[in-house]
Amino acid sequence: MEVTIPQGTFRGARVGDVLTFKGIPYAAAPVGALRFAAPEPPVPHEGVHDATRYGPTVSTPPQRSAVIDALLPDPVRPGRNGLNLNIWTPGTVGSRPVLVWIHGGGFATGAGSTTAFDGSAFARSGVVVVTINYRLAVEGFLLLPDQVANRGLLDQLAALDWVRANIASFGGDPERVTVAGESAGAMSVLTLLAMPRSEGLIRRAISQSGDGHHVHTAEVASIVTRELGIELDLEPTAASLDTVPVETLHQATNTVIGRLSAGKDPRFAPFTRLVLQPVIDGDTLPRHPVEAARAGASSTVDLLLGWNGQEYGLFSAPTGLADTMTDEMLHGTVARLGVDAGAVIAAYREHLPAAGPADLFVAIQSDWFCRVPSIRYAEARHAAGSSAYVYEFAWQPGTFDGRLGACHTIEIPFVFDTLADPWGKQLRGADAPQALADVVHSTWVRFIAGGDPGWPVYDDGRRVRRIETESVTVTDPDAYRRRIWEQRL
């Protein structure tokens, strides 16, 4: 099957009743003068471009945790242009809703060609799916004095521009585009809604285990730039960084991330988790995403957002931290959040009297990182007169002696209906319920197609859909968690 657009002709493949087109460049290769520059339009080609295989992945530092890398491996696909996308469609004739998926990975790792993101089930449900790669780590998110900020986000916008201009040729409706993502991908989604350049590109948005809080001020972002320059013993500009071998740059990046996030130097107190992330630069991102939402930015965009019940279970049970966490370690990890650790831990212990240090670690970190900021974003939308649908994914597997919980990433194969895929299977187990995947997948399809997932919006009633084998809509679930952080976050 071939499709011709102004960029050129692409040959896809038919897999059962789904057409796939993979590795399509949506921007010029970010090499040479473009390595640290804003993305440029893709270079047209002559002849027929083979789009039957995934394209190159963006070069990124390796996962800093070998355990997480083994559980959730990133594909590595060498090549020149990592700014490419993949499409799954029922057919090229018609005008169907579109889902654009932005992968997570802490703004430093990840790929749109991860096999669990296969869009075949969505295509069979009548949705055209697009997954993208974007620049990460230093290339995508380091603030540089001689280049534009937020290059990774600008890549995402370039992909959305490409979708708007070309998706009709692949059977999609450019007026019904839903942008979705998980973790850093979800943070990207909510940040994109605050960027003026996104206007008119997004009809609906889905944020899975993300929030609008993970952005740096330019002052804080400059600390990262300075420390990388010190580590490499050079002036940290795009021109000088371009002379550094890729492996050396990756090694230095990981060293700086470790140093700034270790919690051992008071100069680096602002860096609690994500060292590289979007920057409020006054231009590409004029203001904080939550402030933008409160002021009514993207109020016409339908929004579905939520979290998993025990996000930090991913970083506790599989890594062995669940067995080694002590009260002293717990106090240290909470203190790094910039709060009175004793008071916060005591407040949680009041409501969770049987919880040990590891359980409290998971609860506190999960709420600080995702649950409460997501609630804040929904409340900011509500204050501006727009709405959001909120969920909590609560299904818990029996893996890791039942200590994993509804952890970070575990909902993804339920959303994509890819439970058979090996990615993350050690987390969810071989017997993860297909019936729940049917429900979750169809719920996402319903929202993508019509903007209503099937439960009431989050408003003064604070209604949240708790998704598990028997899903229910609840009012202000675990309200104590929200209250604990009211004056602290």
Q: Which residues are catalytic?
A: 183, 311, 408
Q: Are 88 and 113 in contact (CB under 8 A)?
A: no
Closest C-alpha among 321, 367, 361 to residue 67: 321
Closest C-alpha among 391, 386, 226, 231 to residue 305: 391
267: CB partners within 8 A, 6+ apart: 223
Closest C-alpha among 416, 318, 396 to residue 114: 416
Distances from the Cα of 366 to the Cα of 183, 311, 333, 404, 487, angstroms? 12, 5, 12, 13, 17
CA distance 130 to 98: 7
Distances from the Cα of 396 to the Cα of 352, 404, 429, 466, angstroms? 18, 7, 10, 12
Which tokens hold the place of 80?
A: 């020149």
Closest C-alpha among 305, 459, 461 to residue 392: 305
Distances from the Cα of 109 to the Cα of 64, 76, 112, 161, 178, angstroms? 10, 11, 11, 23, 23
Which tokens hold the place of 267?
A: 């100069």
